[in-house]
Amino acid sequence: MGGSNSVFKEEELQDYEDLTYLTRKEILLAWRRWESLVGSEAKRDKAARFPEAAVQELPELKYNPFKSRITHVFSSRRDARMSFEDFLDLLSVMSSKAPLHLKAHYAFHIFDFNEDRTLDAEDLGEVVDRLTGGEEKLLPEERNKLVDRLLEETDLDGGGISEEEFKHLLTKCPDFIHSFRFCI
């Protein structure tokens, strides 16, 4: 571990441990994965920002239909680039130790494609398309019926699904916290 550990000052490691749900060992593993994704340029500057596409090559994201949204939401500047700290935030939220409310917050923003702070028919249509493979898998009327049903069952006030309604819904889905994660 000596070589990897020298990348960080003791205070940095302690700060990362304090600010994430990751252990020191996981942070050091995250750094090695970060280096493998973005290359040797990472060694020169830990604050450097790299294209989201590099992070999307992470095996846990590579075939995820929401990978572009995931990296977008975790990009602190929303500039299609990520820093090591953005990557750590992603890994922290996806860790098994992150609480349901935090996972739900990020899941909501990942599914809020039009970024209007509600999940509406447009957002849910995009979710359905990504989960089913798009128009090749569902006929438009099937897709619309499914979206309408989702809204009918979860939108309590008729204004689209708010983050609070979404979080409430997820409290009824015990598997969510176990499926919205991956290991370092």
pLDDT tens for each residue of 106-164:
999 999 999 999 999 999 999 999 999 866 788 899 999 999 999 998 888 889 999 99
Tokens, residue 101: 């409310």
- Alpha-carbon distance 49 to 38, whole Å? 9
pLDDT tens for each residue of 27-43:
999 999 999 999 877 77
Q: HSE (CB half, 13 Å, CA atoms) of 90?
A: 29
pTM recorded for the entire structure: 0.91
Residue 90: per-residue pLDDT:
98
User: With DSSP H G I counted as helix, E B as strand and the rest as coil, what are the percentages for the chain, rounded to 5?
Assistant: 60, 5, 35
Where do the domains of the chain lie, and which CATH numbers do they carry?
2-93 (1.10.238.10), 100-179 (1.10.238.10)
pLDDT tens for each residue of 66-90:
999 999 999 999 999 999 999 999 9
